[in-house]
């Protein structure tokens, strides 16, 4: 039966339309923090990273973690979509367009999931859906967070809109609102973080109200010109939202008019194995003390027996697919032509690839030409911790290494 479905499936190398945007095929580079915006500057290294993805055949490359404001960063080495960054972001999008691909800007705000020091973060307490003790802040000395009031909610929605408008000015073809993994919008979606008793807390329908407001305002501002994509976590992992909540989120996004949803999973702190399908390597962090501490804490709480398997989120994603008609991107460990064909047979519109494209930016072209049918990525996750090194995110097992010198200057040539 599965072989019959594969033969009837849409070709992964065919065009598809996402809102106002036509993609040349069904492959999208998923947002994976690159670690190439040293000091917040969009570098030549970041531009070259995404240009190689475009050269390698992907239809769209997503620039990870474009913060809505300086306070919205998780670390200081993340870019902000502000006026000062537009010229360098334009160099990046021009480089991607040169190879016939589209560029997407992932727009997000950290909320309470921030490691900025007191000199870098303006507010004494980072903003979140709820106030009280900030467990993430233990690693950076920010022990309390602030429950956002109505004025702050409106201002934050305005930040997302302003960032989306700047993305358009910088030449991006799409924006991706990050509603997953424990960042600010996810802190409203997840009951692990959201303890409110007003119209923004309680049921999943009410927990989605603020993220929905942000989405609709961004659609109003740029949706006629840019594809507006949402990335979210189908479940929070062992606790919090389950797949019934994940389906409810997808239905809300569809009703709001999102052009596509990227189906991710898990949270950065509570369930990173649910996100990656395999644990982070122990004693990792590339010299970053916070990451080393975080990895150690996770090693105490995460499951010890998780073994990576291709398409590890397939069963969850199939349940979402069965409940909505909107375009969906399958994300989660596709590493072979068989995995690609299974996702197409399941009815997904695009396939979001992370580690496979870090391992080999030419993966899509090589699949299409028949040069390979299987990625050499082992899902060891050491690429995740390489983002904290001078060269940024890279695979230690392939020759596709970023040049650290390219991360010392702006992207503009």
pLDDT digits 0-9 by tens, 72-122: 999 888 999 999 999 999 999 999 999 999 999 999 999 999 988 877 877
Q: Is 183 a catalytic residue?
A: yes
- Domain contains 413: no
The list of the chain residues with pLDDT below 50 reads 1-5, 7, 284-285, 410-413
Torsion angle of alpha carbons 27, 29, 31, 34, nearest 10°? Answer: 170
pLDDT of residue 302: 66
* Predicted pLDDT at 318: 98
d(CA 269, CA 87): 34
DSSP 314-333: HHHHHHHHTT--S-EEEES-
- Confidence at residue 5, expressed as pLDDT on a 0 to 100 scale: 43
Closest listed residue to residue 173, CA positions, set 94, 64, 120, 250: 94
* pLDDT of the residue at 398: 83
In a domain, 17, yes or no: yes
What pLDDT score was predicted for residue 413?
Answer: 45
Work out the burial of residue 255: count CB atoms within 10 Å of its CB; fewer than 13 is exposed, 13-18 middle, 19 or more buried. exposed
Query: Which residues are within 8 A (CB) of 266 and not within 5 positions of it... i.e. 6 or more apart?
Result: 181, 233, 235, 236, 237, 272, 273, 274, 275, 276
> What's 97's domain CATH number?
3.20.20.70
Q: What is the pLDDT of residues 265-313, one digit of tens each?
A: 999 888 888 888 888 776 544 555 555 655 665 666 667 678 899 999 9
What pTM does this model have? 0.93
- Label residues 210-236 b or e (16+ Cβ within 10 Å = b): bbbbbbbbbbebbbeebbbbbbbbbbb
The total domain count for the chain is: 1
The pLDDT score that the predictor gives to residue 2 is 45
Contact 276, 379 (CB under 8 A): yes
Q: What is the pLDDT of residue 163?
A: 98
Q: Quick check: 242 and 36 in contact, CB under 8 A?
A: no
Do the domain assignments include residue 412? no
For residue 321, which phi and psi values (nearest 5 degrees)? -55, -35
Residue 190 lies in a domain: yes
Q: Is residue 258 part of a domain?
A: yes
Q: Which one of 183, 200, 312, 330 is the catalytic residue?
A: 183
DSSP letter, residue 304? S
- The residue range of the domain holding 228 is 2-407
Q: Rounded to an integer, what distance in angstroms lies between the CA atom of residue 59 and that of residue 26?
A: 7
Give the pLDDT of residue 1: 37
Residue 34 in domain: yes
CA distance 146 to 334: 39
């Amino acid at each position: 039966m599965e072989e019959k479905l594969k033969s009837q499936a849409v070709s992964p190398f065919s065009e598809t339309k996402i809102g106002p945007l036509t993609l040349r095929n069904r492959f999208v580079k998923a947002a994976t923090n690159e670690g190439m915006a040293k000091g917040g500057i969009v570098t030549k290294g970041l531009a070259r990273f995404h240009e190689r993805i475009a050269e390698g055949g992907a239809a769209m490359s997503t620039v990870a973690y474009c913060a809505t404001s300086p306070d919205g960063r998780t670390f200081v080495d993340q870019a902000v979509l502000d006026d000062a960054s537009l010229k360098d972001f334009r160099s990046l999008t021009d480089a991607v367009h040169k190879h016939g691909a589209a560029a997407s800007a992932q727009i997000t705000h950290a909320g309470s999931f921030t490691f900025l020091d007191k000199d870098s973060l303006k507010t004494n307490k980072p903003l979140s859906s709820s106030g009280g003790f900030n467990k993430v802040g233990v690693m950076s000395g920010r022990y309390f967070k602030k429950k956002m009031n109505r004025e702050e909610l409106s201002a934050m929605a305005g930040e997302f809109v302003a960032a989306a408008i700047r993305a358009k000015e910088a030449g991006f073809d799409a924006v991706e609102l990050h509603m997953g993994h424990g960042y600010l919008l996810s802190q409203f979606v997840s009951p692990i973080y959201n303890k409110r008793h007003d119209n923004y807390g309680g049921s999943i329908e009410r927990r989605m109200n603020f993220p929905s407001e942000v989405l609709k305002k961004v659609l109003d501002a740029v949706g006629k010109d840019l594809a507006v994509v949402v990335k979210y976590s189908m479940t929070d992992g062992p606790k919090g939202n389950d797949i019934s909540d994940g389906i409810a989120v997808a239905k809300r996004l569809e009703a709001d008019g999102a052009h596509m949803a990227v189906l991710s999973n898990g949270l950065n702190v509570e369930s990173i194995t649910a996100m990656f399908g395999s644990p982070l390597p122990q004693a990792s962090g590339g010299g970053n003390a916070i990451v080393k501490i975080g990895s150690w804490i996770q090693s105490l709480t995460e499951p010890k027996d998780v073994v990576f398997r291709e398409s590890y989120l397939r069963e969850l994603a199939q349940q979402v697919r069965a409940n909505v008609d909107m375009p969906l991107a399958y994300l989660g460990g596709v590493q072979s032509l068989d995995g690609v064909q299974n996702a197409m047979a399941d009815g997904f519109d695009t396939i979001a690839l992370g580690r496979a494209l870090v391992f080999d930016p030419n993966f899509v072209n090589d699949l299409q030409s028949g040069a390979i049918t299987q990625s050499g990525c082992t899902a060891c996750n050491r690429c995740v911790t390489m983002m904290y090194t001078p060269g940024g995110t890279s695979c230690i097992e392939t020759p596709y290494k970023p040049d650290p010198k390219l991360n010392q200057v702006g992207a503009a040539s």
